[in-house]
Amino acid sequence: MEIREIREHKKRFLALLLLGDEQESMIDRYLERGTMYVLDDGGIRGECVVTDEGNGVLEIKNIAVKPESQGKGYGRAMIEFLVQKYRGRYAALQAGTGDSPLTVPFYETCGFVRAGRIRNYFTDQYDHPIWEGGVRLTDLIYFRRELGEREI
C-alpha cells in the first residue's frame, strides 16, 4: 500500500472527489490550493485533500474511498498517514462534515472529537439538497484531532 501526493491533473480523480463532496463547484474552491493524496493498493482505492487553514490547523476538505473498497481500513490509513506526516507542523487536523450516520462514526472512531458547527452550511452553500444515509444534511459539523506541540 502506498500513499502518494498528486500535484498535477487532480481532476482525473473527479469521480472519487465527487464521492467525498458531490458538488464540483464546491470542490473547485479548494482543489488547487489543497494538497491531494491518493492511496494505491494494487489500484487507486481512495483520495484525500487537505488545506492549510492558518493558526496551525490543517483541514481535510475531501476524503473518499471507492465504494467497493470501503470498510477495509483505507480511510483510517489515510487519516493516520496525515497525522504522521503533519505532526509537529500543525497543531490540529480538522474535518468538516454533515451530521450523517455514514461519516460521523468514521471520524469518531479515528480519534476526532466534535469541535464546532456552522448552522445551515449545506442548505446555504450547496445548490441542491444533499442526502446521506437517509438524512438531509443541513449544518456542517467540525471534527478535530489534536496533533500535539508544533516544532516550528
Ligand X SMILES: CC(C)(COP(=O)(O)OP(=O)(O)OC[C@H]1O[C@@H](n2cnc3c(N)ncnc32)[C@H](O)[C@@H]1OP(=O)(O)O)[C@@H](O)C(=O)NCCC(=O)NCCS
Least separation in angstroms between residue 91's CB and ligand X is 21
Q: What is the DSSP letter of 78?
A: H
Q: Element (H or E) spanning 4, and its range?
A: strand 2-6
Order across the sheet with 57-65: list the strands: 2-6, 35-40, 44-52, 57-65, 92-98, 140-146, 113-118
- For ligand X, the closer of residues 37 and 106 by Cβ is 106
- Give the shortest CB-20-to-ligand X separation in angstroms: 4
Nearer to ligand X, 13 or 106 (CB): 106
Q: What count of other Cβ atoms lies within 10 Å of the Cβ of residue 116?
A: 12
Chain residues binding ligand X by CB under 6 A are 19-20, 63-65, 70-76, 97, 102-103, 105-106, 109
Our CB check for ligand X shows the closer of 40 and 88 to be 40
136: which strand partners? 131
Q: How far is the CB of 107 from ligand X (least distance, A)?
A: 8
Grid coordinates representing 41 are 493498493
DSSP, res 47: E
Q: Which is nearer to ligand X, 94 or 103 (CB)?
A: 103
Q: Smallest distance, Å, CB 151 to ligand X? A: 28
The residue nearest ligand X at its CB is 75
